[in-house]
Structure 1
Amino acid sequence: MTKFSQTLLAALALSLLLPVASARASDYPPDYPICSVYDSVTTGPFEVIRHTRRLPGRLASLTVSYRGFLRGLYPDNQISIYVSLNGRQQTLAASSGTNNDAYVFLNAGPRGCTKCLRYINTPLCNAHFAAGGQEGVWVCEQPSAVENDLFFYAFDWNGYQNAWDIHVAATAGGQWDSNLGNNYFARLPARSSCW
């Protein structure tokens, strides 16, 4: 063994005795966006908008905006919007939008996350501690049962987005705006990346 090899071996052995600084991940909330991608399709009097904020993961929202003839006959709060996403369907009460539309907004993932510490007095943290939860954990509002049902087939097992086949229609007072019963169709592409 050469002198250089012996020195190198000794240095390697000594380096193994040095303490290693522990690596720590950033403590971002579960709803922290790492990207912002919009996919939008206009179909008849509807605009279908998907906003993706993280992949993999379920941080995506769906907005269905309606600007059809029922808005001239009924107030927006009397209009309901039928949404079918990859075969899962719901009829949802519309809200009055700021863009001359009636709309529904659905969120697939956690939102409104708060790091719960004993001195933070919010309903979310109070419920967390009342249920025996630990201090210093992120607690988030979760999707509603309706959102969980509608987004059931929207993502694959790895958290990537499947293609979203969306059928929409609007109803109010027994009348439908449904493309003569065929519903309006939009397809949003599958995504495995936000970039």
Structure 2
Amino acid sequence: MSHGTLEPFLHAAFEAYEGCSPAEPPSSFALLLGTLRNGRALIAATEFARNARSADRTATEEFRTTIVPRFGTAYDNIHRGFWCDSRDLLRIHRQAAAQGLEVLGSIHLHPDWHRIGPPSERGLRISEAPTPMDAYMFASTGWLVNMICYVERQEGLLCYTLGAWRPAGGPDATACAPLRIQLHEHRERGVPA
């Protein structure tokens, strides 16, 4: 993935982080488009999608019957958790195919919620690693690359750390295997840096 490919997501993630409150966690989610070559996922673009978590009946039912009982009442908050709008997903799949790409995965934001969230959740430790809920969703989508961008404020600056994961497979839907991330700077041939 190039730094330029990541920039739109980072801009949206930082903006969401700055605008959040303890009652409304920041949310930023995008799909990763690219190709597979020699066993490597080459991410060429990020495409944003809407969160249908509170509007889609299937999502509402999944959160009510499975996610909240399994992962806790924090997921009763309609601002927590992401469910990609199916119309956006179809549009993005079609757009990717027209460009010779495919949807390889997703990227989403984790804030330093243990610092900025409500006092009742300050004991949580969130990072670029998947939560059990993330691992469940990664296994459900079956996507090859699932990136988490952990954003925190350090000495007045917004900083980020990236993690990439794939579902580990098998009977444990809460396991993920780490993936190595390589960022590169895209330059045209013959153009000096």
TM-score normalised by length of structure 1: 0.26
* Structure of greater Rg: 1
- Give 1 or 2: higher strand fraction: 1
- Give 1 or 2: higher helix fraction: 2
Structure ranking higher on relative contact order (CA contacts 8 Å, 6+ apart): 1
